[in-house]
Structure 1
Amino acid sequence: MKRLLIPLAAASLSAAALAVPADANPHWVTDDLTAKPSDAYSAAYFWLDSNGAALRKATEYQWDAKDVTKLVAARGEENAAPDGKPGLTAPTGAPKPSASKNVNLPKTIGKVFFVDSAGKYRWCSATSIQARNRNLVATAGHCVYETAKDVYSKWVFVPGYYQGKAPWGVYVGAYAFTAYDLDTYDDYDGDFAFVAVHNGFALAGEKQVEAKEFKAWGGDKWIKPREIDAKEFEKCLLNLGDCWSEGEDKPADVVGPDYPNAVLEKVEVGEEAYKAAKVGKGNGYKFGEPVVEQVTKTQLDAYKGLGKKGTDKFGNFTITHFYTQKWVKPGTSRKYFMPEYVIGVAKDMGRLGDVVGGQGFAWNQPRGQKVTVFGYPAARHPDGDKPYTGVTPKWCSGKTGTKTYQVNTFRVEEHQVLKCSMTGGADGGPWLMKYDNGKRTGYVNGVTSLFHDQDGNDRIDFISSAYFDGEVADVYNKANYAETKSVVGPNGELLK
């Protein structure tokens, strides 16, 4: 990107609007996502509720496979020189080195989830990145901004996401930072974003409390109705308690057997009435064969019902019962309830960088660098083949191209490229330079932006990223000072 970025001071978010010359546009933008902890609580709860149902419902952000682009008009190195000296910011929270012949997945990677303007649940790939407040996520700009100046709603980062699970919590986006030209013109030379996130959030269960504590609780809460009997209800009313009733007492109505939802009941009658009843289906018709019940002599003598007393051939005392049919529309009864006051207990997971660490950051690096790229590919290739599920992260490794490339459809003039077959869903995944497989850390030198079919066989074979130059470093430095908050307190209470 050959534009001059305005230098950024080490300012707080309250000074987001820095002074710029009257004849110049700023080349960075800052947008609120979910700045207030109370709103962040709602966003996190939206994704975590019902055991992560919304997380599992989300689908990958993707372009139409027919619109997969080609990289064109390769430009020479002399036409795309870095705009300043190369720089590196070291990663944080690196685990102890471990020996492995395979590529070890970094703890920092995960998915970002959001809701688009059509109400669809979407996700992209992303990573935690080093920041002074240990609260920063790097991803593709189009995974934060939905054309022009609109940001997605309910934006969260879930490191280590797997099948609806958030092992290290959900981190709600507070403030987004990106290039002015992406935000305003959809210029994908600036297709990157840094998002400052609140402390992680997890649901830790629920607790039944008294009404006083319930009313004072600032977090999630709800009332569960507990059914009681009429006596408990009367006692509750006398004590001016919180109780209520629903429905009314209505007796069952006798109807015909063909009445919708009619219920068959049996009515005990005497032997003569039973013999006189017809066989078939209807009120007063026989209900099966007589039922013979064996009883003791005492039970027989005490019996005063309609059944016929007697003995069987073995001398056992019996009572023979006779039944006819009764078809009814069921009645209703009033039900009584008392409230159970329940509060949702949430847990503060801490700052993102303290929990999973943060990758380093690199800018103005020579092209032809070896990088390892991670992401959650899921979309189909243009030919319809779908080799990835998006359930687990995948990776590509190799050297980036020595030239920059154009993609006219997206106003791209200076993308860096890598030979890789990952598909949509890997958008926003980090390009890690100098990746240490043992420590699982490296330096973010790009994020996956676009997917390309260079040989025309309807298979993605290249991916590309914005070139991380001094302008990107200035946007990163702006995001680096963003301050965010805890969503819940030490007892799980919602903070204001």
Structure 2
Amino acid sequence: MTIAGLSAAALTSPAHAAAPEFDRAPLAPGAPGAYAVARFWLDANGAALKKATQYNWDAKEVTKLVATQGDTSDGKAGSVAPTGGESGPSAKVKNVNLPRTIGKVFFLDHKGQPRWCSGTSIQSTYRNLVATAGHCAYDVEGNKEVVSNWVFIPGYYQGKAPWGVYVGQAAFTHYNFSAYEDFDHDYAFVAVYNGFVFNGEKEVTKGEFSEWAGGRWIEHEELKDVSGKTAKQQFEEGFSKYGPLGPYWSKDFDATPDKVGHDYKGEKTLTKIEVTEKAYEEAPRHSEARVNGERYDSTAPVTVPITETEYKELAKAKSEGKFLGKVEARDGGWNKTQYYIKQWVKSGKTIKYFRDHYVIGLAKETGRLGEVVGGQGFAWNQKVGQPVFAFGYPAAPHPDGDKPYTGLTPKYCYGKTGTRTYGVSDYKVEDQIALKCSMTPGADGGPWILKYNNTKRLGFVNGVTSLFHDQDGNERIDFVSSPYFDGDAAGVYDEANVVRNTRIVSDKGELLR
């Protein structure tokens, strides 16, 4: 595909004066960790996605741009062609067709708060790159490190992921940004895993549950008194029908249940309790102690993938004696394992009975990002003053408190960038480019696209929204700015461009390791 005005020759090694310094940071190494990150965001019908707020800009601290005419181009102009795109008539359309490539970037900040920015799929060798702002991948507000639980959801709308969830694998930005918070380099290219969606769930037998390599969990259904039968009677009938290996369990909610033998004459309950790994290993095997339904043999340990944030929290809890299981970093991700045994205890004053449902999560791969939604082209060392479309999901209010945007749907601005560069001392900016635009925070990270083809919905990313400005002092955002994409930006793109795509789930929907 060729778009007039730019060379569409794909260059794997952009020509620039010297190789730039770049920073590569892992986001979710390994399929288990990536799966856990996706489940964190999509669990409970996307509750965490809906809870997220736009990146934490203070609307009262919107800055002003100061013209500088700093150095821009540092070499020959170049570009990488876009891929994909819509098919259809080439007739001109009055309305602007929004690109399929844009979406929301979600992550947890240093306080563990869910945040989001904007971003876009961008062309790459392995069809797996997202372009966004550097501050949407590196937490410059907090610990100065890469953010956690990073995902990209193209076409996001109200907790839905129409084309799948793409978990971040590794983030690349310029060293001057990650180390010194220099917003002249406020851009990031993030390599993502293949996308997938959660495709429902299925109740299975305990044996099938133990063998399933994908997401799995146990749901506890409390039994109630119904149809003339007490919860206890239902439990006893179920236990009698299925035996000690059956799905029914009881739970005594006394804080310190007293252990008794099977021949205890008073009220007793066969209870599943969580224990340490040591207690699990020391528990008598069923061949040694199994009388009248009493079974000290433990159930199979359940190991599940967790996020890095959960790993850190559980590791701290374990050190304080508040978590009995095991947490470990292995297989390129993070996991927790819990251990259980069953034993007779004296029945307490309050006993609740449960039926356990063994459930597996079904997942379906959606494929490589660039093959699903396409990928915008990439251009560097371009002449300033050209017309661009800036896309994003604005949400924050203006400094005067007016809130015209919801962040639910993407918006855009169109116009020519300034013919000179600008500085903002608060952010160490000396030569960003500017566009007249009233989009508010939430749009940061969104692409600036040159030569946008309204039919193909493709063009060349030549910037990303970085900062927001009030030039006329009326407490309304009227300009946005972006780093100038020069040879340094091309060099960082080069490094991200060689990361291979990786699958998270198999064709069966199981978790790959």
TM-score bracket, normalised by the shorter chain, equals 0.7 to 0.9
Asked whether 1:91 is paired with 2:85, we answer: no
Q: Report the equivalent of 2:112.
A: 119
- Give the letter for the 1:407 counterpart: V
Q: Report the equivalent of 2:452.
A: 435
In structure 2, relative to structure 1, the CA distance for the partners of 1:80 and 1:242 (3 Å cut) is same
Per-residue Cα deviation, 1:71-94 (whole angstroms, up to 9, x for no partner): 11432xxx5241111111111111
For normalisation by structure 1, the TM-score amounts to 0.75
Per-residue Cα deviation, 1:199-244 (whole angstroms, up to 9, x for no partner): 112110111222222111111112234654423323433x654543
Asked whether 1:371 is paired with 2:362, we answer: no
Q: Describe the SS at the equivalent of 1:104.
A: coil
In structure 2, relative to structure 1, the CA distance for the partners of 1:66 and 1:338 (3 Å cut) is closer
Per-residue Cα deviation, 1:41-100 (whole angstroms, up to 9, x for no partner): 01000110111111111011142112111111432xxx5241111111111111114442
How many residue pairs align between the two structures?
392
Q: Report the equivalent of 2:192.
A: 197
> Would you say the 8 A contact 1:86–1:363 is kept in 2?
yes
For normalisation by structure 2, the TM-score amounts to 0.73
Q: Please, which of 93, 102, 106 is the counterpart of residue 95 of structure 2?
A: 102
| RMSD over equivalenced CA pairs, Å | 2.3
> Would you say the 8 A contact 1:172–1:200 is kept in 2?
yes
- Give the letter for the 1:349 counterpart: T
Structure 1: state its 5+ residue gaps.
1-7, 11-23, 251-330
**Deviation at residue 472 of structure 1 after TM alignment:** 0.5
Q: Report the equivalent of 1:60.
A: 54
**Deviation at residue 31 of structure 1 after TM alignment:** 0.5
Q: Report the equivalent of 1:233.
A: 239
In structure 2, relative to structure 1, the CA distance for the partners of 1:334 and 1:95 (3 Å cut) is same
1:161-176 equivalent positions in 2, closer than 5 A:
161-176=156-171
Q: Describe the SS at the equivalent of 2:68.
A: strand
Asked whether 1:444 is paired with 2:465, we answer: no
Bigger Cα Rg: 1
Per-residue Cα deviation, 1:122-143 (whole angstroms, up to 9, x for no partner): 1000000000100000000001
In structure 2, relative to structure 1, the CA distance for the partners of 1:186 and 1:336 (3 Å cut) is closer
Q: Report the equivalent of 1:350.
A: 367
> Would you say the 8 A contact 2:392–2:411 is kept in 1?
yes
1:76-475 equivalent positions in 2, closer than 5 A:
79-98=70-89, 99=91, 100-147=93-140, 149-225=144-220, 227=223, 228-237=234-243, 240-241=245-246, 243-247=248-252, 337-475=354-492
Q: Describe the SS at the equivalent of 2:126.
A: coil
State the alpha-carbon separation in 1 of the partners of residues 19 and 498 from structure 2.
22
> Would you say the 8 A contact 1:400–1:417 is kept in 2?
yes
In structure 2, relative to structure 1, the CA distance for the partners of 1:57 and 1:431 (3 Å cut) is same
State the alpha-carbon separation in 1 of the partners of residues 434 and 499 from structure 2.
30
Q: Report the equivalent of 1:495.
A: 512
Q: Report the equivalent of 2:500.
A: 483
In structure 2, relative to structure 1, the CA distance for the partners of 1:364 and 1:224 (3 Å cut) is same
Point out the more displaced range, 398-407 or 98-107: 98-107
State the alpha-carbon separation in 1 of the partners of residues 46 and 109 from structure 2.
18
> Would you say the 8 A contact 2:164–2:196 is kept in 1?
yes
